[in-house]
Chain A
């Protein structure tokens, strides 16, 4: 959340008063932008629900799951990118997220690996 820069310490306005300078912030335009994102999120939610109701006979289960997860990722991007302001964050935060993504991928990778590593004599249904 670094897009809105407030004034520096020396020119921070007194509480309850609007700052005279240092705030190139248009509250209404920001509100409008938030509403656009909200509408996009609503569309993504509707799309996920719509895909889940597509007939199983025409669209395979795997395709439906893949599509739903894709839309969920787009939805997550909207929240993380715009609402959490990740699109304009500092390098340190990106580094931290990079490490998290690495370990998360490792966690999921180990899960997939474990599924192929069944003990000898396992009975499959």
Chain B
């Protein structure tokens, strides 16, 4: 059985069914991310004054990722335009660019996750805190080595904006460690929100890349049999990709700049 109005518009709505479908899906996605943003607002506003972290993320990497995603939105649109004017070669070129940019986005983001997960806050028995990136943490050795600095209390680690941090290699005997924890989602509310929101967004980038990659790799056959249907698929995947960009436009300032 053929799905009706998959290619040409329904007379009553003026649009083809897949487009209605993707917009309904995007509406549900707005509510999904909306729930996380509302959780952010609740936790952020409820945080005691001076206890919400600032400057914990690398703004340069965040800005770079924003530019990469914005550029990929343009290449996605151009891929669709290329289909509209029946230039399959150009479509392949622009979508190859989109895939490369998506991969770049994910690599940069995974680098940030790696940076967070290797960054430790070590509470010492003398009351001080050692903060930095773990270099050596061998269970058989009775010490750990970090590339970081000492601070006197947790308050010194909350607002890192404008601070010039000079890291040095520090060797800490295990006997002096009271407890230590990396900057994973379990570290505090901010890191939990950061990992949840950016993680969900990354999943969307990954899923979008799979769809775009499929159209890029296996699209020729459909293009040769029904170019209009193929063009619609490119449009629908493009709308999803723009939505992913749209979410990042708000995630970036919320998690990196505020």
Contact = CB atoms under 8 A, between A and B. Distances in A.
B45 interface: yes
Closest 8 interchain pairs by CB?
A52-B257, A111-B38, A125-B48, A100-B27, A90-B14, A4-B84, A84-B242, A41-B70
Interface of A: 1-2, 4, 6, 8-9, 12-13, 15-19, 23, 25, 27, 30-31, 34-35, 37-38, 41-42, 45, 48-49, 51-52, 64-65, 68-69, 71-72, 75-76, 79-80, 83-84, 90-93, 96-97, 99-100, 103-104, 107-108, 110-112, 114-115, 125
A110 B37 CA distance: 13
Contact of B63 (A49, A69, A97): A49
B34 A6 contact: no
B13 interface: yes
Interface of B: 7-8, 13-15, 19-20, 23-24, 27, 30-31, 34-35, 37-38, 41-42, 45-46, 48-49, 59, 63, 66-67, 70-71, 73-74, 77-78, 80-82, 84-88, 90, 223-225, 227-228, 231, 235, 238-239, 242-243, 245-246, 249-250, 252-253, 256-258
Contacts of A9: 7-8, 228
Given A6-B228, A15-B227, 8 more contacts: A13-B86, A18-B87, A23-B84, A45-B67, A72-B250, A79-B246, A93-B15, A107-B35
A23 B85 contact: yes
A92 B235 contact: no
B74 A34 contact: yes
A27 B250 contact: no
B249 A79 contact: yes
